[in-house]
Amino acid sequence: MARIENAKSVNEWLDQRIGLNTLKKVMQTEYWIPKNINFLWAMGMVLAATFGLLTISGIFLLMYYQPHVDHAFDSVNYLIMTEVGYGWLWRHIHGIGASLVFLIIYIHMFVGIYYGSYKKGRELIWISGMLLFVLFSAEAFSGYMLPWGQMSYWAGMVITNLFAGGSLEAVGLVEWIRGDYVPAQAFLTRFFMLHVFLLPLVIIGAIVFHFGTLRIPHVNNQDGEDFDYEEHAELYKAGKVKESKVIPFSPVFLSKDVFVMGVYFILFFYLVFYHFNFAMDPVNFDPANGLNTPAHIYPEWYFLWSYEILRPFPTDPGLVAFAIAQVIFFMLPFLDRSPNVAPANRRGLFHIWFWVMLVDLLVLTVMGKLPPEGIWNVIGFWAAIVFFALWIALPFITKAEKKL
Amino acid sequence: MNKELKIFGVVAFFTLLLYWGVEPFAHGQMHKHVDFNNFVYDGKADIAAAPADKKEAKETFWKEVGEISKLKGDPVAGEATYAMCTGCHMEGAPNMGGVIPPVLDNAGAIYDKNYLIALIKDPAMASNVDHKYADTMTHPMGSIKSMVSQPQDIANVVAYLKEKKAGAVTPKQAYEQACGRCHANRYVNWTQLGTVPKTEKNLATGIDVDALKFKQAVAEEQALVADYMGKLPPDLSIIIRARSHHFLETIVENPQSQLAGTAMPRVGLNEQGFEKVMEYLEVSGDPSKVARDALGPWVIGFFVLFTILAYLWKSSLWRDLH
A345 & A206 share domain: no
First to last CA, chain A: 53
Distances (CA, A) of A388 to A381, A385, B110: 11, 5, 59
DSSP conformational letter for A386: H
Residues 210-269 of A with CB under 8 A from B: 241-242, 247, 251-252, 255-256, 258-259, 261-263, 265-266, 269
Residue A105 domain-assigned (yes or no): yes
**Cβ atoms within 10 Å, residue B203:** 6
Residue A19 domain-assigned (yes or no): no
Q: What is the pLDDT of residue B138?
A: 82
Give the separation between CA B47 and CA A58, rounded to whole angstroms: 53
ipTM for the assembly: 0.95
Q: Burial level of B294, CB count in 10 A (0-12/13-18/19+)?
A: exposed
| Residues in chain A within 8 Å Cβ distance of B314 | 255-256, 258-259
Residue A16 domain-assigned (yes or no): no
A274 & A309 share domain: no
Give the separation between CA A342 and CA A344, rounded to whole angstroms: 6
**Residue numbers of chain B with a pLDDT score lower than 50:** none
Pairs across A and B, CB distance < 8 A:
124
**Cβ atoms within 10 Å, residue A228:** 11
- Whether residue A262 and residue B306 make contact (CB cut-off 8 A), yes or no, is yes
Residue A41 domain-assigned (yes or no): yes
SS3 A85: coil
- Whether residue B296 and residue A274 make contact (CB cut-off 8 A), yes or no, is yes
Using a CB–CB cutoff of 8 Å, tell me whether A286 touches chain B: yes
- Nearest CB to A256; choose among B239, B243, B314: B314
Domain count, chain A: 2
Residue A7 domain-assigned (yes or no): no
A93 & A176 share domain: yes
A259 & A214 share domain: yes
For residue B20, what are the contacts with CB-CB under 8 A and spacing of at least 6? none
Q: What is the pLDDT of residue B132?
A: 87
| Residues in chain A within 8 Å Cβ distance of B299 | 269, 272-273
| Residues in chain A within 8 Å Cβ distance of B260 | none
Q: Which of A280, A297, A314 is the last residue of a domain?
A: A297
- Whether residue A82 and residue B296 make contact (CB cut-off 8 A), yes or no, is no
Give the separation between CA B172 and CA B283, rounded to whole angstroms: 10
Closest-CA distance, B31 to chain A, in angstroms, reads: 10
Burial A38-77 (b: 16+ CB within 10 A, else e): bbbbbbbbbbebbbebbeebbebbeeebbbebeebbbbbb
Closest-CA distance, B75 to chain A, in angstroms, reads: 44
Q: Give the mutation candidate from A43, A286, A376 for the B interface (greatest B CB count, under 10 A).
A: A286
**Cβ atoms within 10 Å, residue A252:** 20
Contact A380, A367 (CB under 8 A): yes
| Residues in chain A within 8 Å Cβ distance of B25 | 366
A210 & A347 share domain: no
Q: What is the pLDDT of residue A28?
A: 93
| Residues in chain A within 8 Å Cβ distance of B30 | 296, 369-371
| Amino acid letter, B178 | A
Closest-CA distance, B311 to chain A, in angstroms, reads: 5
First to last CA, chain B: 13
A131 & A152 share domain: yes
Peptide bond into A251 cis (omega under 30): yes
| Residues in chain B within 8 Å Cβ distance of A296 | 30
- Nearest CB to B314; choose among A81, A259, A278: A259
Distances (CA, A) of B260 to A46, A173, A232, A371, B237: 48, 39, 73, 20, 23
- Whether residue B242 and residue A286 make contact (CB cut-off 8 A), yes or no, is yes
Residue A1 domain-assigned (yes or no): no
For residue A266, what are the contacts with CB-CB under 8 A and spacing of at least 6? B300, B303, B304, B307
A318 & A292 share domain: no
A72 & A52 share domain: yes
A130 & A110 share domain: yes
For residue A318, what are the contacts with CB-CB under 8 A and spacing of at least 6? A166, A309, A310, A311, A312
| Amino acid letter, A6 | N
**Cβ atoms within 10 Å, residue B74:** 17
Give the separation between CA B62 and CA B49, rounded to whole angstroms: 14
Residue A177 domain-assigned (yes or no): yes
Q: Which of A297, A322, A351 is the last residue of a domain?
A: A297
Closest-CA distance, A149 to chain B, in angstroms, reads: 10
Compute the mean pLDDT over every residue in chain B, rounded to the nearest whole number.
94
Contact A402, A337 (CB under 8 A): no
Q: Can you say how many angstroms the Cα of residue A122 is from the centroid of all Cα atoms in its chain?
A: 18
Residue A21 domain-assigned (yes or no): no
A379 & A274 share domain: no
Range of the domain at A61: 26-297
> Biggest alpha carbon distance in chain A?
79
Q: What is the pLDDT of residue B225?
A: 96
Closest-CA distance, B251 to chain A, in angstroms, reads: 17
Using CA coordinates, name the residue in chain A closest to B21: A366
Burial A148-175 (b: 16+ CB within 10 A, else e): bbbbbbbbbbebbeebbbeeeeeeeebe
Q: Is the dihedral angle over the CA atoms A179, A288, A167, A387 positive or is it negative?
A: negative
- Whether residue B287 and residue A81 make contact (CB cut-off 8 A), yes or no, is yes
Q: Where are the extended beta strands (E) located within A145-253?
A: 246-248
A336 & A286 share domain: no
Q: Is the dihedral angle over the CA atoms A303, A307, A309, A315 positive or is it negative?
A: positive
β-bridge partners, B194: B191
Angle of helix B151-164 relative to helix B113-121, nearest 10 degrees? Answer: 140
Contact A318, A384 (CB under 8 A): no
Using CA coordinates, name the residue in chain A closest to B301: A266
A251 & A325 share domain: no
**Residue numbers of chain A with a pLDDT score lower than 70:** 1-2
Q: Which of A266, A297, A328 is the last residue of a domain?
A: A297
Find, among B112, B133, B114, the residue nearest to B178 by Cα.
Answer: B112
Contact A126, A132 (CB under 8 A): no
Closest-CA distance, B241 to chain A, in angstroms, reads: 6
| Domain containing residue A264: CATH number | 1.20.810.10
| Residues in chain A within 8 Å Cβ distance of B239 | 285
| Residues in chain A within 8 Å Cβ distance of B295 | 89, 273
Contact A180, A187 (CB under 8 A): yes
Contact B22, A304 (CB under 8 A): yes
Distances (CA, A) of A275 to A280, B28, B241: 10, 18, 13
Element (H, E) at A34: strand A32-34
Q: What is the pLDDT of residue A1?
A: 56
